[in-house]
Chain A
């Protein structure tokens, strides 16, 4: 079975802490994405990457950064967590650099609470 694995299912952090969310895929996919899901809103794209060491801002990048040192791993970093970053975070991957007709494979999500 192909897999996108997120390191934590639930995470509780304090305001101001630096938070790392890790995502690993085993499908040799070029594209990797970080989304957040909030009630009443669709999945919103934070950052994405088409290749190793490459990153592009999505629609809501403020307060986040990413790292892609290896093809299979895409990390989301909250430099200084704030309460408005409490959310469900979803990682996804797809094949074919930059092509929207390739379906996304999702991880199971990390529910982050910032207190």
Chain B
């Protein structure tokens, strides 16, 4: 079974701060890594899907990197804004290619104005 761990569990930052979270997974059993943003009272929304070692993806002020050899992904938010407040979920797809994703517990970000 693929175990996906996220850290920290929660984070409080000031508006304008840059921040990053970590998602770790067993590197020996990996196929795809997803990041989702889940705002309160809304649906989780996909940010990135990465499959290749060294992948870097960017969407506005948010970017993500992937290291499949050591089994981690970082999500960076540059210049956090109050609207970035959300729970950020990562999910790993095991190499068995069954379509199942294993989700981490999430990192909840609170950005204070």
Q: Chain A interface (Cβ within 8 Å of chain B)? A: 4, 31, 35, 40-45, 48, 50, 56, 58, 90, 94, 97-109
B31 with A100: CB separation less than 8 A:
yes
Residues of A within 8 A of B36 (CB): 104, 106
Q: Is the CB–CB distance between B4 and A103 below 8 Å? A: no
Contact, CB under 8 Å: A99 / B89? no
Q: Which residue of B lies closest to A3 (CB)?
A: B43
* Inter-chain contact A109/B100, CB cutoff 8 Å: no
Question: What is the bound-complex CA distance between A102 and B34, given in angstroms?
Answer: 9
Cβ–Cβ < 8 Å partners of A44 in chain B: 103
CA distance A59 to B91 in the complex (A): 14
A104 near B105 (CB under 8 angstroms)? no
Evaluate contact between B98 and A107: CB separation under 8 angstroms: no
The bracket for how many chain B residues form the interface is 20 to 34
Residues of B within 8 A of A (CB): 4, 31-32, 34, 36, 41-46, 49, 51, 89, 91, 93-94, 97-106
B100 and A48 contact, CB distance less than 8 A: yes
CA distance A35 to B46 in the complex (A): 16
Q: DSSP majority for the B interface?
A: loop
Quick check: A103 and B46 within 8 Å, CB to CB?
yes
- Given A100-B93, A101-B31, A101-B51, residue A45 in contact with residue B100 (CB < 8 A): yes
Main secondary structure of the interface of A (DSSP, over half): loop
Are B49 and A101 in contact, CB atoms less than 8 angstroms apart? yes
Contacting residues, chain A, for B102 (C-beta < 8 A) = 42
Which one of A50, A58, A90, A100 contacts B44 once the chains associate, using CB atoms below 8 Å?
Answer: A90
Q: Chain B's nearest CB lies how many Å from the CB of A56? A: 8
Say yes or no: B99 contacts A50, CB within 8 Å.
Answer: yes
A11 to chain B, nearest CB (A): 16
Return chain B residues, CB-CB under 8 Å to A104. Answer: 34, 36, 44, 46, 101
